[in-house]
Amino acid sequence: MRKIIALVIVVLLFVTCKKNDLGGDCVIEGTVKHHTKNIKGASVFIKFKAIDQPDGDTTVYDAKVRADDNGYFKFNVYKGKYFIYGFGYDYGIPAPYTVVGGQAVKVRAKETASITLYITDGD
């Protein structure tokens, strides 16, 4: 009997715990902006289980999407805490045109979090 109970507990742990992965029933979506300008084609990165920007370069992030021509991006995720980081180019500013920034996002079960990801050149 104890073995059956232990087996049921182990199975429940595997079924109820979601690994760090995309594809859940929650959504993080938004638009990448530099001031009021949408940044088309920006790279948008996501770090699972994070509320602060991770140290290191973008290889420490767990996934990446490319914003469309309107600066729109979308991640399907599981409930939890995430850090979203954007990198793009605004050719309306002096070279090197690079704009970056990020923010923490928390989503609950079956929630859609719509954000504006403001990125900056440091101004």
Q: Does domain 20-118 have CATH number 2.60.40.10?
A: yes
Residue with tokens 């050149």: 121
How confident is the model at residue 12, as a pLDDT? 46
SS3 10: helix
Over residues 10-56, the pLDDT tens digits come to 444 444 455 568 999 999 999 999 999 999 999 999 999 999 999 88
Higher pLDDT, 5 or 25: 25
Burial of 10 (0-12, 13-18, 19+ CB in 10 A): exposed
Over residues 89-122, the pLDDT tens digits come to 999 999 999 999 999 999 999 999 999 999 999 7
Burial of 8 (0-12, 13-18, 19+ CB in 10 A): exposed
Dist. CA 80–CA 109, nearest whole Å: 8
How confident is the model at residue 21, as a pLDDT? 81
How confident is the model at residue 56, as a pLDDT? 84
Domain ranges of the chain: 20-118
SS3 115: strand
Dist. CA 80–CA 51, nearest whole Å: 10
